[in-house]
Structure 1
Amino acid sequence: MIQRKQTKKICIGDTPVGGETPITVQSMTNTDTRDAAATVRQIKGLEEAGCEIIRVAVPDMEAAQAIRSIREQITIPLIADIHFDSRLAVASLEHGAQAIRINPGNLGGPEKLARVVDAAKRHKAPIRVGVNSGSIEKDLLAKYGYPTPENCQALIESALTNVAAIEKLGFDEIKISIKSSDTLTTVAGYRELSRRTDYPLHIGVTEAGGLIAGTVKSSVALGILLFEGIGDTFRISLTRDPVEEIRVGFELLRSLRIRERGPELISCPTCGRTRIDLFSLAEEVERVLQTMQSNLKVAVMGCVVNGPGEAKEADIGVAGGHGTGIIFKKGVVFKKLPEAELLPAFLEELRKMDAEAQL
């Protein structure tokens, strides 16, 4: 049983973070924030996939000003991601950002940080202190060296020093992240940070890579941390459509029995008995499942012989054969159909079951 560490509770818009609240899955847009229409389209797709908090890059004043229009068209909280320019942080808050992500050490000094904190107070917006291995202050690197699994003190000290600077300004609605592109450094760093602070933690592996490498690295690091009760929000960082980040994120939570969203897909890896295009079949079923909310267990199996038996715990399943296939429920054959009719009939029955499960 996972014993989650109790952290300080904050709210990003109407979404609570920390304390005993559910671990939230978030992502970041990869559109040009100045293009509000494109950014909104992407966020709506992410909302449909289950994204609960979204972050947008703010590289200039035009992007900061676009936040107002974006906010008016979405339902999930929006975080503005700021680097170097304190004016962009203030402008983002003035235009509706519900939280900001900054590295206080690169904003240009105490006076500029104070202006950002004052704006956060006025707009009741939390601040995420975000430190990456590549953005640590030079004096800390000289003192501790570049972060490694054996020595991640530079990351820890950078984050906590910046948090202390914000606390001195009378502000404690804070979330912290200390990301590395190295899996073991990420795990070691967050373990130590969790021992030294009660602020909520946003966990993740930065610059993790594409779909395969990024999923593996993130799942290993975040899986370890979440199993140990560490982490209040997280992002699976992928060089991919950000919707994939959300899909991986919820599957990670499901695998640890922390949270479930939508049906669970069980599918076989195929073998020499497979006589149907199972890859395409599974992909289409998975696409449809992303739009569903119930907790059905759904199976896509490669052969009629073993399908119902191996997936007998599934609420509903489909198994292919040579030019034919079956739909089964709880291991019992429900329908036998020609291959061309199999997928449409299966999806129709699946949608019925999903609707009934939500009544």
Structure 2
Amino acid sequence: MTGLQELLADIETLVCCESPSSDHEAVARSAEVVAALGRKLLAAEPERIVVDGVTHLRWRFGDGPPRVLLLGHHDTVWPTGSLRTHPFSVREGVLRGPGCFDMKAGVVMALHAAATVPDRAGLSILVTGDEEIGSPSSRALIEQEAQDCDAVFVLEASADGGALKCRRKGVSHYRIEVTGRAAHAGLEPEKGINAGIEIAHQILAAAALADPEAGTSVVPTVVAAGTTVNTVPAAASVAVDARVWNEAEQLRVDRAMRALRPVLADATVRITGGINRPPLEESSSSGLFRLAQDLAADLGLGELTAASVGGASDGNFTAGMGIPTLDGLGAVGGGAHADHEHVVVAELPRRTALLTALVENVLAKRDPSDATNPAGDSGTARR
């Protein structure tokens, strides 16, 4: 197994380079740290791909198109200066620091796993810089890199207890904007068109699209309306977060959101946004999960469990393309985005060994039509 002390040292190096998604210069500095770690471990320089100011890194091995993709991100939600209040530490078997769990430990694990694969031909490693804000500049790159792959292994952190993430909800983001007409709230309110009242109607209509039995949530979040306490609001808006388990539900909600119409006479309603990430359905991960279970048993790592989670990742993109995708292969721990974010140290070499075995196994099956191909029975047609 990969040496624990080297893993810890490399995670510390990466965690101590802060990389909030919105700060492109900080993300670029972090990319150089990741590149240096990869150069040390892989004896190979990555491509630096800058899209809309965001720095992404890619390593490719072999002459043909990638067959296995290790996918991760090096940006975090933590603002610059977080190390002052949440310093890197390793105490009593627990590693802490901003972004350690989500997902800088996973990036380091990917590099260490790749370093121990004897024949890397067909392997690609993609580390993006804007996952935490929806991957606006990296989605096309991710989909391009995954299109010919037999397997995508996502180094996002595990679910509770180390479970692999075999099912993720799809995510859609919308913004409802209402235009009314301002008027003095005391002298002549009847001459106004109250955008606040209209947005209230729209909030209720959007929320009613949820289907708890299907696991579909449609949640109005950030609301804004009005200018002063004595003025009928001329404008209002609300953000809406929708999450679903399957494509049919995602399309239903999308159509219904776009069909919203004003209730008040002469008010106007504008809907923007849409589907951000398709669902990662269980059919996309089932074959690879069974392989991971078998390999974990062979390695003496104990029983692996699967989890369904409401959050999305870049693995949703590749699963949506019909590429077999297994997520949650990164650190075991908890507290993503929170003050108690942490990694269980003892699991780092164990999970890195599992990742290495997965990569080696899929790369060894050179014929994608091989009936023993673990990715071949995912049940998902490529789109």
Q: TM-score, normalised by structure 1?
A: 0.24
Q: TM-score, normalised by structure 2?
A: 0.23
Give the structure with the larger strand fraction: 2
Give the structure with the larger helix fraction: 1
